[in-house]
């Protein structure tokens, strides 16, 4: 089922955030983008890094990111076919966001909720 795409134009406050989240929504997109920050990967290399993803889900997520201009897909005329994925300039522009998500996760994911400071301030 195709996703509804965000259209540019007059926008309410927060609309840009919503549009950005739509580009990287999905269980695997952020993780795929994170791994592609390291460089070009073949389909099976991505699949090995995401052990619990199904082939169909990975294919769908990659197709959506390709349609959104975040990744480039290169097919080599070989038997068996060799397919490589890499970030486009648009996808690479998400690097600070993906890195910030990783840093936040490293700091907060394993931390129990009741142990969290009510207000954290930057020094």
Question: What digits encode the pLDDT tens for the residues 56-75?
Answer: 999 999 999 999 999 999 99
Sign of CA dihedral 109, 87, 3, 21: positive
pLDDT above 90 for 81: no
Residue 19: CATH number of its domain: 1.10.10.10
Q: Is residue 45 part of a domain?
A: yes
Given a contact cutoff of 8 angstroms between Cβ atoms, the answer to whether 9 and 51 are in contact is no
CA atoms within 13 A on the CB side of 3: 16
In a domain, 10, yes or no: no
In a domain, 112, yes or no: no
Number of H helices, E strands in the chain: 6, 3
Strands (E), 1-121: 41-42, 71-76, 82-87
**71 is a domain residue:** yes
- Count up the domains in the chain and report the number: 1
- Asked if the structure places residue 4 within a domain, the reply is no
Q: Give domain status of residue 96, yes or no.
A: yes
How far apart CA 106 and CA 18 sit, in angstroms, is 24
Cα 105–Cα 111–Cα 117 angle in degrees, nearest 5? 100
Domain-embedded: residue 114: no
pLDDT at site 11: 66
Q: Which domain holds residue 73?
A: 15-107
């Amino acid at each position: 089922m195709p996703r509804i795409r965000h259209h540019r134009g007059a926008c309410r406050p927060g609309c840009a955030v919503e549009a950005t989240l739509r580009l990287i929504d999905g269980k695997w997109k952020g993780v795929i983008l994170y791994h592609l920050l390291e460089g070009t990967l073949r389909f099976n290399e991505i699949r090995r890094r995401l052990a619990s993803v199904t082939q169909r889900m990975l294919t769908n997520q990659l197709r959506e990111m390709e349609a959104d201009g975040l990744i480039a897909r290169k097919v080599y005329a070989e038997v068996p076919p060799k397919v490589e994925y890499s970030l486009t300039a648009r996808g690479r522009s998400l690097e600070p966001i993906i890195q910030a998500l990783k840093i936040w996760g490293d700091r907060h994911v394993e931390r129990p909720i009741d142990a969290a400071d009510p207000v954290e301030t930057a020094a």
